[in-house]
Chains A and B, each alone.
Chain A
Amino acid sequence: MVCFLTPSLLIFLLYRMLPLAWNVVLSFQAWSPLHPPSWVGWDNYSEMLYDDDIVWQALWNTLIFMGSQAIGVVIALGIALLVNSDLKGASVYRVIVFLSYPLMTVAVAIIWRWMYNERGGLINFVLRRLGIIDKPIAFLDSFGWALPSTIVANTWQVLGFFMIVLLTGLQSVPPHLYEAARVDGAPAWARLFRITLPMIKPSLFLCAVIGILNSFAAFDLVYVMTNGGPGHATELLITYIYKEAFNQSRFDYAATLTVAQFALLLVLAWAAHRAAGGNAGALE
């Protein structure tokens, strides 16, 4: 019986557990392709905290990216509320919104790069036609606009997934609660805030976790759209880790960054868990 589990466990061991441990080990070493690694204690960590400016910029960008997922969740909740019911054509709308999620993120990045282009892009064209601006904005080349532009592209892609998760939660709310509230004369917004939102807390928690994971994993989109952006304006922690590891060949320092990022991920996931009321937000 155990032998049935062995192949899967072997893969998880090789590609999840062992790498996690090895990252921690690497972060305390000086690694080089030429000679065996040596122990350097906390040197890598002190370099990260005191000598590196980019990592703080990357951290800040990652946190902004994460916060913006909330906007995506709100929009997805609105769409889910609109689509939730026996509305004619609801499944068509659902498929259209979800269509962007299974796509290759590299392709999505190229599509949005083109949408933001100064000459051939739709966004600048519409803005100029509407008279809002009279010279094109170089969205992906400007320090101020680059990160919001990548956030918009990311939201476009993840919206469908948030919508599906929230739809599932909405459909599990027992309708008699709404009936009772309507009988009691509660207006629609009260029904939304007092009944719907508390009842879909597990789904909201799941969306929060997905959003956190997404901002730690959004390598493909940022790498292809801006590669860290003008300067480091769109540098996320994951793109910085990739550059340190595979462009600069500094595996030890990149491992340190990975350990720090993973610790941050755990802290945020635990905070979301507490904010959802413990027990993964599940209801009694």
Chain B
Amino acid sequence: MPLRSLLSSRFFIVPVAIAIAVGGWNIYVSLHARGLIAGHVVDAAGRPVADATVILYAHDFVTQAEREHTKTDADGAFRFSDNDSHLIQLQAIEGAHSSPRVTIRLWFRAQDYVLTAPLVIEAAS
């Protein structure tokens, strides 16, 4: 079979296109997979809450396991740096009050993610 018709047949083009897409995706993933999760905690009035505990839960189909927790700084910002799961939940606790658990679904494990909406600690938990 002449080389040219081999190269333009769909049995060559389709696998090569798939390989290129997969390779490109893997490169993107490796550049963005440092496990950083960042966000803010505010209270019901919108003021940042300092020194609140934020817990990270890793999730699979049936179980949720608490992975780590950190504290927010003076601006209510928090940051995790070694998340390795793709399905996590975050909850902020301050004293006796807590925010609802927020589920975050990522596209790949350890994807860097910045929360768009802050965790809101309600007065009544």
Asked whether any CB of A lies within 8 Å of a CB of B in the complex, the reply is no
